[in-house]
Amino acid sequence: MSNPASPFNFPCGRTRRQFLWQAGNGFFGTAMAWMLARDGVRAGGATPSTHFPARAKHCIFLFMVGGPSHMDTFDPKPVLNKRHGEEYDFKPAKGVSQKGKGKLKGSPFKFKSCGQSGIEVSELFPHLREHVDEMAVIRATKADSAAHGAASLQMNTGFVRQGHPCLGSWANYGLGSSNNNMPGFVVLVNGAPYSGAQNWSAGFMPSGYQGTVFKTSGTPVPNLTPGMNRSRETQRDQLDLLAEWNREHQRHLPVNSELAARIESYELAYRMQAHAPEVVDLSQESETTRKLYGIGEGEADRFGKSCLMARRLVERGTRFVQLYPSNWDTHGDNDKRHQKLCGQTDKPIAGLLADLKDRGLLDETLVVWAGEFGRTPVGTGGRDHHAAGFSTWMAGGGIKGGTVQGATDEFGFHVTSGEAHVHDLHATILHLMGLNHEELTYFHSGRDFRITDVAGKVLRDIVA
């Protein structure tokens, strides 16, 4: 008979996960069902974790920390250029633009119609614009905050406040990794982003879904080699004993998901010791491939290594990889900063798209390029924060290449058609990965949460 005074004596919860946890805790059949489901296939082509057949098995998210200027990169504004220096007042909505009044600032960079689609791209991207027919350029992206920290959180988690799981965690939660020896979600950081690790946090989900950070210089995975010349057999025995103690402790704390995540993290780290060194060893790549990414070529070298590592990770089954180059915050000298930053990222990103395509991986890998917001069309030497209308793009898995979604006005301030809110970006990314954003939920604090909150629509015009 159960103890009525026990804090754990309560009926099965309202979700399937709660039911399985309570009714099948330690039950062999539950574990076996999970193992079979992990390796099986549903009728209709959907995997056990997806809601429908996925167009993209992996996602590489290139997060441009600081907010690139859309009118200097992917959204040409000839009228703005002609009226350069004129005083203007846009009367922006509060909170979505840091500056809406001042002298108009045209772009000094020329735009060119590229590829068969004829999409115009800035001269700052001489390599990337060769791949424009693979890309869907979204010129009507909107966010809810012009503050770096809040906007970064929203682009990554869907919310402007802390504590919510990021997009990579949602993908990891919904799909997991197709390689049990590597994390399902890896983060490559070149420069500290605003809001820091909150950008790749699992939020209120178990910590096992958060991003695993790989360094982009020095030793990519710290503490990967066992210390004190410990053999793998000795380490295996220690982990088995530790897992036994943790499981015993967990039986008395069934509501504590951190223990299960900790056990799995130890096991994953053990498996990674045998597999991660090979993944991050870029010396295995040919000199031709390394040059394709700009490795060894000055400013492009560091980010080139990150992009090549991202390709190696998805090639080996990692579901979601996020890259953080830094920093596009161009208040003081917009033009020179953009020249420098595009020089650092142009060839590596173009090399990534070319390499994925050559290896037959682009059709199953979604590549996303976005910052937390764009930049104002007013300013003197620099441009300020602007979330009311800016540019992002997607390429690869399930994307209709050579397309443009939406538009901003002749100055690049307001969205005039085809609005694509951050929630819509997230809905589209999940859709391409086989997940319905309205059905992918996590029960927390008395209700079901999702990354798109109570909004979001799939951008059907850019889906092939």
Q: d(Cα 181, Cα 288) in Å, to the nearest integer?
A: 29
- Kindly state the percentage of the chain with pLDDT values over 70: 78
- What pLDDT, on a 0 to 100 scale, did the predictor assign at position 9? 43
- In whole numbers, what is the pLDDT of the chain averaged over residues? 86
Burial class (CB in 10 A: 0-12, 13-18, 19+), 415: buried
Contact 181, 271 (CB under 8 A): yes
DSSP state for residue 316 in the 8-state scheme = T
Q: Which domain holds residue 299?
A: 46-220+280-462
DSSP state for residue 219 in the 8-state scheme = -
- What pLDDT, on a 0 to 100 scale, did the predictor assign at position 37? 39
Both 215 and 241 in one domain: the answer is no
Burial class (CB in 10 A: 0-12, 13-18, 19+), 202: buried
> What residues contact 110, with CB distance under 8 A and at least 6 apart?
122, 123
Both 159 and 175 in one domain: the answer is yes
- Domains in the chain: how many in total? 2
Both 231 and 92 in one domain: the answer is no
> What residues contact 454, with CB distance under 8 A and at least 6 apart?
none
Both 153 and 299 in one domain: the answer is yes
In a domain, 1, yes or no: no
pLDDT over 90 (residue 20): no
In a domain, 36, yes or no: no
Both 387 and 298 in one domain: the answer is yes
pLDDT over 50 (residue 81): yes
Report pLDDT digits (tens) over 198-219: 999 999 998 889 999 987 666 6
pLDDT over 70 (residue 349): yes
pLDDT tier at 181 (50, 70, 90 boundaries)?
A: confident
- What pLDDT, on a 0 to 100 scale, did the predictor assign at position 226? 63
Q: d(Cα 275, Cα 271) in Å, to the nearest integer?
A: 7
